[in-house]
Structure 1
Amino acid sequence: MQQAEIADPFVLEVIDREEPHAGPGQVRVRVRAAGLNPVDWKIAASPAAAERYGITAPAGFGNDYAGEIDEVGEGVAGFAVGDRVFGGARGRAVAEHAVSTVGTDLLAHTPDGLSDEVAGSLLIAARTADAAVAAVGATPGDTVLIGGAAGGVGVLAVQLAVAAGATVVATGSAGNHDFLRELGAIPTTYGEGLVDRVRALAPSGVDAAIDLQGTETALAAIELGVPPVRIATIAAGPTRPAGTIATGGVDAAPDALDRIARALAEGTLTLPIQATFPIERIQDAVQLLRGGHVRGKVVVTV
């Protein structure tokens, strides 16, 4: 998979390239599935974003992947040929092979019972959800407002907050409300009138908030009287309201990936895959992702 130019619109092409190999301290993974994240297309479309992440054209695409190790470099411990794994390779995930440096790139063993499609969607979503819920300190008795709750990060954040004993009020499009109820949340729509709707749904007040899309939820939470130190954002950028917490996967607990992967394999958590596309239809996958309103994840299979 190659992108010749960082620009919007961008074109992704499936190309033949020289096969990579694992060097010292590295493993090569035969990729089976790569879950897409909004940051993937934002990097591909924006030279400024690409520069922040160290991506230059011609470039690959994607970050999250899952598959099995088919080559192990010298000095690698804890991983062997044939191991099912999932992890991340920024700008290199949507490909037949991904090479990861053990100890530098995040790489974890895939639990039995967890599909490559779900495992390949976990790295960013699981760690970001874990960090966001921890950042606001969700505890039993709290009411937590979560904005953008039906996406990959949101689905996991809702379940983690519910598991912590919190009551969750979750924003999403009307078509996702029944699904959010199944996760244990009280759904509502986003947009104009959000504060009034939340007041009606949570008459005793809101204690914390997580904004997964921008600043609408964070600003609503402030108006609802939530202390800024209990409001987390992941995509607010320079518009983040003063005093609120900017967080992301880098702040996740060290055991977050393994813990959430095991819970998914055991069925105590769920992460829906809305659509799966073969690599030849990568542009269709990106178009669906960019359109918003995705429930869970969009996955490319290789």
Structure 2
Amino acid sequence: MSGPFRGSVRSLACALILSTALPALAAADPLSDYVAARDKATADALAAAKADKSGDPAVIKREEAALKDLGKRMTALIGPVKFKGLGSPEYTLRVLTYDENTPAQDLGGIAFADKDFNTRLVVAPESIFTGWLATRAKDPDAPKAFASGVKAAAGTPEFYTNAVGFDGGFYQPYVELPVAAVPGETAVAWLGLQTEEPSGNTAPNEVAIVRIGGGMAMVGVAMVKLGDKPIPACDAIWQPFKTKADALQKQVEKDNKDQDPRWEQITKIQDEGSNAYRACFMKEAPSQPFFAAAVKKAEAFLATARGQ
């Protein structure tokens, strides 16, 4: 065989080899590799927990190495990003599982914080974020709002607990803030409070943002000073609940019984009062002087998230 015919056969053979190899090459992208590595590490951790070997030094060492590797992969996916006033980038996943049946529910991403940890921003590829939210929506303990998309999910405390993470307490959203999104971007903001107990009539002091754009998702919480004054109508709604809870607590302390079930009743009353107060706050806040300032704070935080 010689001449042009031999060349065409060689070209056909090369084309066949390339067409066979291309699907494998396309599948081996960094994002898919991260997901595969995360899922394998999680499966290994669950298997170790079921075998009651989570405390074995070798298992602990393996999981620490897996988390370190996942952090490097995530950092590479996000790229060399910086945010004004924020530093200390850190991979968000600290554990792979909670127990033998429950994988960690936290969003995998890179967290940035200021020196006082008053502002926190978590960044993840958009597909990782949407996949995480869809998975969380299927969990038995997830709020129904998770299944309705990011805008609805952002109005729940559970969203921030898993997306941002708190060493203590949780973020309680009070009222949504009407922030403006740039073209091609999803932007959501809330005014709320980080707390470790029923919030009662405590005024919110943090803005939370969710931004999706440019292939990345960002969730952040920042403490703000608004100089907001009490809302008498909402305080009046809270007061009867407080009076009832305080009276019951006084009686429980007087009786001094071990494991008194009335403590749970006190918490229930406080929760009901807190919910009633927040419902009033959501209605009244837009007409209050501090509301415009809260919107400006959220807009500024979004600008930081955009790299401005």
Query: More helix per residue: 1 or 2?
Result: 2
TM-score (norm 2): 0.25
With normalisation by structure 1, the TM-score equals 0.26
- The answer to which structure has the higher strand fraction is 1
